[in-house]
Amino acid sequence: MDSEAAVSGPVILIVNGTATLSSGTVFGLVYCRSATWDLGTGSAEVRGALVAEGSLTSTGSQSVVYDVDILTRLRTRFGSFVRVPGGWKDFADAAP
């Protein structure tokens, strides 16, 4: 995938556990409990943002580039949720 296409279609990765990155570039937001970058002689990059609740362990050549344009694209693409007043239920009332 070329970088222009990747920047126009960023991803949100939410990992419940350890995210392991071994090479390449992630365009978007990566959120995980902990992160491990074991690159050896390779290189890897997160362009956007990386959030780790716990430890971030790394070896090799890695970089995190904060990119507000990518994060803005994610925010406007996925929208947000707002509580609507009133109520709704997915079943009919039981007959008396």
Closest CA to 35 of 62, 55, 13: 55
Enter the pTM of the model.
Answer: 0.67
- How many angstroms separate the CA atoms of 28 and 51, rounded? 11
- How many angstroms separate the CA atoms of 82 and 15, rounded? 24
- How many angstroms separate the CA atoms of 24 and 60, rounded? 13
Q: Domain segments of the chain: what residues?
A: 3-78
pLDDT at position 93: 64
Lowest-confidence pick of 6-15, 40-49, 54-63, 78-87: 78-87
Q: Which tens digit of pLDDT belongs to each residue from 15-62?
A: 887 777 777 888 999 888 877 776 666 778 889 998 888 777 777 778
Q: Which tens digit of pLDDT belongs to each residue from 19-28?
A: 777 778 889 9
- How many angstroms separate the CA atoms of 43 and 45, rounded? 7
Phi, psi of 75 (to 5 degrees): -65, -40
